[in-house]
Amino acid sequence: MQFALRSTVTPPDVHLSMDGELDIFTARQVSRAISQALWTGCRRVRLDASGVTFVDASALGVLVRARELMKSCAGTMEVVSFSPVFLRLCVLTGLVSLTQPVEALEPELTA
């Protein structure tokens, strides 16, 4: 399996770019990178999934748990760019909210 994860940490932001096959094993790398970013003071995670060529449902579960972790730490996580493969599985599993900005999901927080 080919997978590459690039991280740019500039507290309070971290930008993670993913390329290749995102499955339960490679998604753990993403989860670890998010946890490490939290320890450095990051509270905003931006995921670029435009290079993802394969994604499975278990990887989406890891991302959902990571998003909940960010919320519990008064942070946010959003997918800012995604491949058609990534978007398709989000739609099929009902997790299209991963691909929408926080402001679109929780308008009362921005008011």
The pLDDT of residue 1 is: 62
pLDDT in tens, 23-48: 989 999 999 999 999 999 999 999 99
Q: What is the CATH number of the domain that holds 78?
A: 3.30.750.24
- Domain count along the chain: 1
- The answer to whether 90 touches 99, Cβ cutoff 8 Å, is yes
Asked if residues 56 and 24 have their Cβ atoms less than 8 Å apart, the reply is: yes
Q: How far apart are alpha carbons 36 and 21 in whole angstroms?
A: 22
Beta strands in the chain (DSSP E): 3-10, 13-22, 44-55, 76-82
Host domain of residue 72: 3-110
Q: What is the mean pLDDT of the chain?
A: 86
Query: Residue 51: CA atoms inside 13 Å, Cβ hemisphere, count?
Result: 12
Q: What is the pLDDT of residue 29?
A: 94
At 110 the pLDDT is: 39
Residue 100 pLDDT grade (very low, low, confident, very high; cuts 50, 70, 90): low
